[in-house]
Structure 1
Amino acid sequence: MSIRKLNDGRFFADISIGIDPLTSKRRRKRKIFKNKKDAEEWISKTKQLYKSQQFISDRHLDFSTVKDFYLEESKLHHKPNYYKIQEYTINKHIIPTFKNSIIKKVTPTDIRQYQSKLIDDGLSYKSINNIMIILKKIFDKAIDEQVISTNPCKSVKNLSLDNKQMKFWTPEQFKLFIQLINKDEYMFKVFYTFAYFTGMRCGEILALTWNDIDEFRKEINVYKSLTYINREIIITKPKTKNSIRRISINSKLIELLHDWKQEQQDLFSKYRMKHSNDIHIFQYKDQAPTKDIFSRKIRTICERDDKIEAIRLHDFRHSHVALLIHQREDYTTIKERLGHASIKTTIDVYGHLFPNKQRETADRLDDLF
C-alpha cells in the first residue's frame, strides 16, 4: 500500500488486494485523488470491502460466461426438465438481448426496457415474469462470482397478473362433451374421461404406463411426469414430494381402460409395433403424445355444439375437484387425490367452490331466539 504525491499536487493511491485465484497474479487497485485524506479513506474502505468479501473482482466475465455458470449449477442441483426449461428460455428469450452486454454496466433502466420489449413482443405477463425470474438468477450468479455488487433486476417489479376465473364443467356439461366425440376418436374419449374422474395433472397422465394400473386394488400409482422439451421426452418425478400418491378409480373407468387397451393393441399390430405393459397408456404412435394434442382437441370437439364452452386441459383437474365437492367429499380426501402438500393449498385454491359455511352458521343462530 502506498500513497505518492504527483507533480501536479494530486495524490496517487496504490493498494494490493491479494492474488487472483484464476491467474495467480497479484491484484491491485489504483486511483488518483485531489488530497491525501481522500486517498487514505479510499484505501481504508477498499480493504474493508475486500475483507468482508463484498469486493468486486477485476474479472470481466461476459454475460454468456455467467449464464453458463448458472446453467451448470441448475443441471447439478435440479431435475432434468427444470434444467431444460431454463436452458430453452435463456436461449430463446434472454441471450438475443444480453449476449453482447457488458454485465457490469447493465442498469435497472436497461432491465425495464427489456421487460417492455417482451410486452411489445406479445408474450403473456405470466411468461414475462418467468423470464425475468431467470434473468434475475443469472445476475445473482454474477454477484456470487464477484463480478457485480448489486442486481439490476432487483428494483424491477413483476407485472400484475389478472386472476382468471376458474372454469370447470358440471357432470351434465362433461356428459354433453363426451357425447360429441366421434367413434373413431375413442382414445380421446378415454383420455378426457380419465382426466375428469382422476383430477391428475396432464404430465402425470401422459407418463402413465399399463404397469401403473393396479386392477386388483383399482388404483393408479402416480410417481412420474412427462413433458416435451425441444421435441425430446423428459420423464421426471411429479411436481412435489406429495404428488407421489395412489389414486382409487371406479370400476367403469377400469372397463373403459380395458377397451382402449384392446384397441391400442390392434393399432400397434396394424403398424407392426410391439405392445407391452411398458407402453404409455395414451400412446397411439411410436412415442407418447404431447399435451398440445389434447388441448387443441377440446376446442375442436366443443365447436360441434354451441351449448358447451371449451375449457383448458388443466380445467379438467378443477372440474374433478368441483365434482368431489358436489359429492360432499372433505378437504382431506381432495388433498390426497390431488397430491397437494397441505390442506391449506387445497383451501387456498378451491375453498371458494365449497358451500358457504357462514350462511349455515348464521341460520343456526335463529334457534337461539
Structure 2
Amino acid sequence: MPIKKLKNGSYKVDISVGVDPVTGRRRRKTRMAKSKKEAEELYIALKHKYNSGLQPSQRNLSFNEVIDIYLDNCKLHNKPNYYQIQLYTIDKHITPHFINSNIKKLTHTEIRLFQKQLIDTGLSNKTVNNIMIILKKLFDTAINEKIIDVNPCDGVPNLSIPKKQMKFWTPEQFKAFIKLIDKNEEQLFKVFYTVAYFTGMRCGELLALTWNDIDSVRKEINVYKSLSFIKGEYKITPPKTKNSNRRISINTKLLEMLLEWKEKQKDILEKLQVSSSDNTFIFQYKESPANKDIFSRKIKTICARGEVEPIRLHDLRHSHVALLIHQREDYITIKERLGHASIKTTIDVYGHLFPNKQKETADKLDELF
C-alpha cells in the first residue's frame, strides 16, 4: 500500500517513482503526514510531480548511439583538434558515467549529481564547465534526432571561474630573455621567439608558415593556415576564425633576421639530406615540421640561465599586445594584428592593460575652476 498508518498515529506515504536512468535501479520516495487526508493529498502531489511532463519521442537510440552521431558531426564540421578534444573528454568523463543510462529518462537531477561528482574528483571549475558544455551538446543532438524533447542540462549553472592575472613580458624582460639564447647554436629558437613577440601570431600559425608566406617587398607575413599535431601526424587547417586570415606588417630588422635564418636552415637541412624550397616550413629543422612542444619546453630552459621569470608560449601573444599598448596603438590596430573576430574580443581580453584615463580626465576638470 502506498499509504500506511503507523503505531504513533501518523501516516507514511511510500511510492515508486520509476527507475534510476543512470543505474537502472528502482527509485522510491517516502514522506510522512499527520493525517490520512494529508497523506492522500501528498500521495497525489508526488504522483503528479514524478509522472507529469512532456512525453519523449517514440524513437529509440542508446546514449552511445547519440555520442556516435555527435562525434560524426564534429569530425565533419570542425578542425581535427576540436574533434580529438571532444572524443577524449567524452571517453574519459561522460561515457563511463552514462554508459547504461536511459537517455529519455535523464533529468535535471541526474545532471546536477553528475556535475557534483566531477567537482568531487578535484577537477578545476573550468574543466568541469567544459565537460558540461559537451554533455549539453550531446543532449542537443538527442533533441535534433527527435529522441527527447527537453535538454536536462538546461538550468544547470556553470561554475564560477576566478580570473587569472595575465602574464606577459615587458620589452626589457624580452630583451633579457633573448640575450640568454646562443645565436649560433640556438638560432632557430631566437628567431621563433622574436617573430612570436613582434607579431603576436598564435603558435599553430607560426608553425604553419612557409617561406612563400613572407613578402619581402611589402615586409608582410601572410597568415591563412595553422599547423597542429594529432597522434604524431601534422595537419594543416584554416586558422582559428575567418578574421584570422590576415597580413601582418613586420619591421626591417625582423625581416633581416628571418632571411638570415633561411640561409642557416638550408645548411642544416642539406646536412640531413632534406631538400629546401619556398614551400619549406620556416621553423623546420629536420625532415618533418617542428612541434610546438619543443618551443614550450625551451622557454623554461633558457630562463633558468638568467633571472627572467618564464611565461607560457601563448603569453608571447599577450606580450605583443602589451608592447603595442605601450606604444599607444589603438584597439583596431591590435585587433587586426591578432586576427580577432571583433573589437569586443580585443577589449574583453586586453582592456585592463590599457592605461586608465580617469585621472587624466579628472585633471582636465581643474581647468573649469
In which range does the TM-score fall when normalised by the shorter chain? 0.7 to 0.9
Flag structure 2 segments of 5+ consecutive residues without an equivalent. 1-51
Find the counterpart in structure 1 of residue 175 from structure 2. 175
Q: Distance in 2 between matches of 1:100 and 1:55?
A: 21
CA apart distance, 1:225: 1.3
Q: What's the TM-score once normalised by structure 1's chain length?
A: 0.80
Matches of 2:109 and 2:192, distance apart in 1: 48
Q: How does 1:296-307 map to 2 (within 5 A)?
A: 296-305=297-306, 307=307
Q: CA deviation at 1:272?
A: 1.2
Q: Distance in 1 between matches of 2:140 and 2:349?
A: 31
Counterpart residue number, 1:317: 317
The aligned amino acid for 1:241 is K
Q: In the TM superposition, what is the alpha-carbon distance from 1:144 to its structure 2 partner?
A: 2.0
Residue 244 of structure 2: aligned partner? 243
Partner Cα distance (1:159, 1:234) in 2: 34
Give distance in 1, aligned partners of 2:262 and 2:128.
41
Residue 197 (structure 1) shift: 0.3
Distance 1:296 1:77, change over 3 A: same
The answer (yes or no) to whether the contact 1:81–1:236 under 8 Å persists in 2 is no
Tell me the residue number matched to 2:48.
none
Displacement after TM superposition at 1:121 (Å): 4.6
Superposition deviation, residue 83 in structure 1: 3.0
CA–CA distance in structure 1, aligned partners of residues 122 and 265 of structure 2: 40
In structure 1, distance between residues paired with 2:235 and 2:116? 33
Other-structure match for 1:26: none
Match of 2:230 in 1: 229
1:106 corresponds in structure 2 to 106
Please report how far the alpha carbon of residue 175 of structure 1 lies from its aligned counterpart in structure 2 after TM superposition: 0.7
Match of 2:17 in 1: none
| Residue identity opposite 2:61 in structure 1 | L
Give 3-state SS (helix, strand or coil) of 2:221's partner: strand
* Aligned-residue CA RMSD (Å): 2.5
Tell me the residue number matched to 1:144. 144
Q: Distance in 2 between matches of 1:207 and 1:281?
A: 8
Kept in 1: contact 2:80–2:230 (CA 8 A): no
Q: Which residue of 2 aligns with 1:348?
A: 348
Instruction: Compute the displacement of 1:120 (Å).
Output: 4.8
Going from structure 1 to structure 2, the CA distance change for 1:163 and 1:95 (only over 3 Å counts) comes to: same
Secondary structure of the residue that 1:146 maps to in structure 2? Answer: coil
d(CA) in 2 for partners of 1:297 and 1:130? 29
What does 1:141-290 align with in structure 2 at a 5 Å threshold? 141-182=141-182, 183-290=184-291
**Match in the other structure for 1:76:** 76
SS in 2 for 1:246: strand
Equivalent-residue separation in structure 2 for 1:84 and 1:209 (angstroms): 26
- Aligned equivalents of 1:55, 1:108: Cα separation in 2: 16
User: Percent of counterpart pairs with the same letter?
Assistant: 68
Shift in Å at residue 167 of structure 1?
A: 1.2
2 CA distance for matches of 1:74 and 1:148? 20
Pair 249,345 (structure 1): closer, same or farther in 2 beyond 3 Å = same
Give the conservation status (yes or no) of the 8 Å contact 1:85–1:229.
no
Give the SS at the match of 1:286: coil
Uncovered stretches (5+) of structure 1, i.e. residues with no partner = 1-45
Q: Provide the rounded CA distance (Å) in 2 between the counterparts of 1:196 and 1:362.
A: 35
**Pair 1:124–1:213, CA change in 2 (3 A):** farther
